[in-house]
Amino acid sequence: MPTTSTPLAPVPDAARRLHERALVFDAHADTLTEMTDRGYGIDAGPAGTHLDLARCAGGTLDAQILTCFVHPADHAGGYADRVRALLDTADAQLSAWPERLTLCTRPGEIRRAHRAGKLAAVLAIEGGHGIENDLDLLREFHARGVRTMTLTWNNSNEWADGCGDSGPQGDEGPHGGLTARGCEVVAAMEELGMVVDVSHVARTTFDDVLAVARRPLLASHSCARALRDHPRNLHDDQLRALAATGGVIGVNFFPWFLVDAKTASLDDVLDHFDHCLAVVGSEHVALGGDYDGLPSTPAGLEDVSCLPRLTAGLLRRGHPPSTVEKVLGANLLRLFDGDADADTGADTGADTGAGADTSADASGVPGANRPGVA
């Protein structure tokens, strides 16, 4: 059975109406890992899980990035095979629930899924070691629908430093950032139309990516380091630099990234949204819940069915409805689904969103094809 949410005050009608009107889109969930390892389907997850079709409907979650997480210790020597197994799980669920779940890889498909009442799935890889330093594997996974990848997990790989191998501050690892090979990976991702995700990377890697990336960047599931000094979180200058690319930060719900304690509340999550919005504005902040990857959840956000509470909290904090709609999904939609003009209903074969290598403004994303960047 789904987890039981902590009793809180009812969501006000105005907040619920806004939440239901918005296209709600979250940037990171580890549900593929849970389904693969625990052997259940996405229709109804067992106790202790956070996301399934029933709870997506209850929380009006319309689009979700489902990530293929490859733990570097558990799958050493078989990283690519683990990605394949997770993609097999995705394929099986897409085949089992075609009326309720659909894979989105091209501009306009997320909006069309929303209109059809289906959960829009965007596939990701968490941890660049999953491609085993092989660009052919990157292309293979792209062909199977993957549209974004974190360059590292906490560990460093052959071509980029992760924040977990970079000292207590997460600043610099064994490579000193992104290697020449790492620059090739970033270029290959952007050529394929993939969004480069900088959550988990070391500070030096982050800075090097800024110097070579030509498209908007994503930090799919991170928090504000000004509020919680943790290597997984981003400093204010990093938030500004990310926004300057046209990119987006998805705020993570993991209590340990929110506060220096084992437990956290909805208000702690709202504090990070408040801070990020104050630093970079309404165009660059999104949901990055990390559901099904969290060992614990903030009180009040126990699973995706609780997301209307977040909407109510943002409104209660004084954010206008237009800002809340952007945070709930419009900002990620811009990054992954192109602008509204891309939604013509035609299958053009073009790749989705910010990474698509088309005309200068085809992605509809500020900062695409930035001049003066190698």
Task: Render 316-366 in DSSP notation, one character per residue.
Answer: HTT--HHHHHIIIIIHHHHHHH--GGG-SS----PPPGGG--SSTTTT--T
The tokens for 163 are 């924040």
Predicted pLDDT of residue 347 = 42
> What's the distance, CA 220 to chain centroid?
3
Instruction: With beta carbons less than 8 A apart as the criterion, state whether 237 and 267 touch.
Output: no
Task: Render 8-71 in DSSP notation, one character per residue.
Answer: -PPPPHHHHHHHHHS--EEEEE-HHHHHHHHT--TTS--TT----HHHHHHTT--EEEEEEE--
Amino acid at 49: T
Stated pTM of the model: 0.90
Cα–Cα dist 23/184, whole Å: 34
Amino acid at 174: P
Predicted pLDDT of residue 169 = 74
Domain ranges across the chain: 17-355
Instruction: With beta carbons less than 8 A apart as the criterion, state whether 287 and 38 touch.
Output: no
Predicted pLDDT of residue 338 = 80
> Would you give the end-to-end CA distance of the chain in angstroms?
51
Predicted pLDDT of residue 64 = 98
- What does each of the 374 residues of the chain score in pLDDT, given as a tens digit? 334 444 578 999 999 999 999 999 999 999 999 999 999 999 999 999 999 999 999 999 999 999 999 999 999 899 999 999 999 999 999 999 999 999 999 999 999 999 999 999 999 999 999 999 999 999 999 999 999 999 999 999 999 999 998 677 767 789 999 999 999 999 999 999 999 999 999 999 999 999 999 999 999 999 999 999 999 999 999 999 999 999 999 999 999 999 999 999 999 999 999 999 999 999 999 999 999 999 999 999 999 999 999 999 999 999 999 999 999 999 999 999 987 655 544 443 445 454 443 323 323 333 333 222 22
Cα–Cα dist 9/206, whole Å: 40
Phi and psi at 265, nearest 5°, equal: -125, 170
Classified by CATH at the fold level, domain 17-355 comes out as TIM Barrel (3.20.20)
